[in-house]
Amino acid sequence: MPDPHLTFPKDFLFGSATASYQIEGAVSEDGRTPSIWDTFSHTPGKVMNGDTGDRAVDHYHRMPADVALMKELGLQAYRFSVAWPRIQPHGAGAFNSRGIDFYSRLVDELLTADIKPIVTLYHWDLPQELEDAGGWASRATAEAFAPYAASLARALGDRVHVWTTLNEPWCAAYLGYASGVHAPGRTNGADALAAVHHLNLAHGLAIQAIRAELPEAKMSVTHNLHVIRPADPHSEDDLDVVRRLDALGNRAFLEPELEGRYPEDLIADTAKVTDWSFVRDGDLETIHQPLDILGVNYYTTSIARKWDGVSPRTLEDGHKPSEHTAWVGVDDVDFVLEAGRRTRMGWLVDPAGLTELLLRTSKTYPGLPLMVTENGAAFDDTVSEDGQVHDEQRLDYVREHLGAVRDAIDSGADVRGYQLWSLLDNFEWAWGYDRRFGIIRVDYDTQERTIKDSARFYADVIRANTTPA
């Protein structure tokens, strides 16, 4: 008997998500060249324990077996990303048929297993050669994205269920170019804001390029939208901090992509850092393309207040609180660490925030269907004596967040699916292999896969929703 709180509309798509650099390994095989993450992870001190994605979870070689695991769980969709340096090793010019062939085989394998492919074109592994030529701070990178997107549209064609241009450009721009905790590790506010714009531009150009090849393609983009609450809802200062973080984190992407403009307050707030002259005539029209679905990644909420300039500030998720935004003009933020359950990332478990975010987004953009393209949790798992992983905390997290999605649907949000992050334990960026998000455990020495209890629970939810009564 399905849990009534976990029953979803008929066509709701249950799946799971990964990203190329986090799982593939095989970094120098079949013509792939280094990405910015290869360079960054091989730079001493950048990634915990000196971990790299060189081998990751060897998905490049184990892909058919991994798809068989997805089928065993009953997944209806699989969201993965394509490594640009496999497809176009120099970031421009010739395409690499061996790289394309890997993704073509993956898509076929998924379709044979009755799993819908959701393809992300960019999940942070920029070809190093493009970074050397200016990276996302340079317009040329956005322009190079269009032929890359078109080549994938030609190769994978109508076998793809949904195309996603970018994953979390917030991270690519601010963590990569402002705080420098992600590749390429730059700390330059003007570059970060130029990256915001060029990522938006790449999004628009890619949609045009894919639709030119595949007029029926379903297009999307995925954002890690932030739910930030003021510490004191009556404090003008705290409300203003939240407004500025919302402008940088949410509206810097949503407004150009969905409304064809940059927020005026964002331009004013960042005036000391840049004059935004990298936005050229016609760019906003290019960025503002019709979307079929908006991808929302959600993990947690935060509470912000204006920093008084004196007291020691809270350390959130291991970084200085304003580290990511200080470079781009918002340097007076402090985050309040609320009591409550936290994941191994230090993130508060707050399912109500997901309901709030889905409802807010669907109210702001009525008529635009939403998909939760990432949600999940890192916890320290152990293998029990019975050889199983009883990851109760992750199971609870998933159950509560699925319930939160259902609550949002009940209150009127048009949510079309849920992609659990992540299918497999994998390379968690600056945290290396120290943080496990998978619903399938990977033994990093043997590469053995073990289905965790959270995955079995998720499979039961899917089965209950798809088995005719």
Q: Is 394 helix (H, G, I), strand (E, B) or coil?
A: helix
Convert 185-220 to b/e letters by CB count within 10 Å (16 or more is b): bbebbbbbbbbbbbbbbbbbbbbebbbeebeebbbb
Cα separation, 202 vs 165, whole angstroms: 8
Cα separation, 251 vs 356, whole angstroms: 17
| 29 belongs to the catalytic site | no
* Distance of closest approach, residue 379 Cβ to ligand IFM, in angstroms: 13
* Distance of closest approach, residue 225 Cβ to ligand IFM, in angstroms: 12
Write out the two tokens for 188: 């330059």
Q: Which residue, 249, 251, 254, is CA-closest to 291?
A: 254
Cα separation, 113 vs 128, whole angstroms: 35
Q: Is 237 helix (H, G, I), strand (E, B) or coil?
A: helix
Of 297 and 355, which has the nearer Cβ to ligand IFM?
Answer: 297
Of 95 and 427, which has the nearer Cβ to ligand IFM?
Answer: 427
The neighbouring-strand residues paired with 342 are 348
The sheet that has 228-230: what strands, in order across it?
228-230, 302-306, 333-336
Of 22 and 361, which has the nearer Cβ to ligand IFM?
Answer: 22
Write out the two tokens for 336: 């309040």
* Distance of closest approach, residue 70 Cβ to ligand IFM, in angstroms: 18
Of 168 and 191, which has the nearer Cβ to ligand IFM?
Answer: 168
Which residue in 24, 109, 131, 168 is the catalytic one?
168
Position with the least CB separation from ligand IFM: 19
Which residue in 109, 255, 316, 374 is the catalytic one?
374
Where does this chain bind ligand IFM (CB under 6 A)? 19, 22, 168, 297, 374, 421, 428, 437
**Alpha carbon 314 to its chain's center:** 25
In order of 119, 199, 305, the CA distances from 83 in angstroms are 11, 16, 38
* Distance of closest approach, residue 174 Cβ to ligand IFM, in angstroms: 14
Cα separation, 448 vs 427, whole angstroms: 16
* Distance of closest approach, residue 11 Cβ to ligand IFM, in angstroms: 25
E strands present in 4-147: 13-17, 77-81, 116-122
For tokens 């010019």, name the residue. 93
For tokens 């985050």, name the residue. 335
* Distance of closest approach, residue 345 Cβ to ligand IFM, in angstroms: 7
* Distance of closest approach, residue 22 Cβ to ligand IFM, in angstroms: 6
Cα separation, 455 vs 447, whole angstroms: 18
Cα separation, 353 vs 229, whole angstroms: 10
Of 149 and 171, which has the nearer Cβ to ligand IFM?
Answer: 171
Q: Which residue, 271, 87, 296, is CA-closest to 193?
A: 271
Which are the catalytic amino acids? Answer: 168, 374
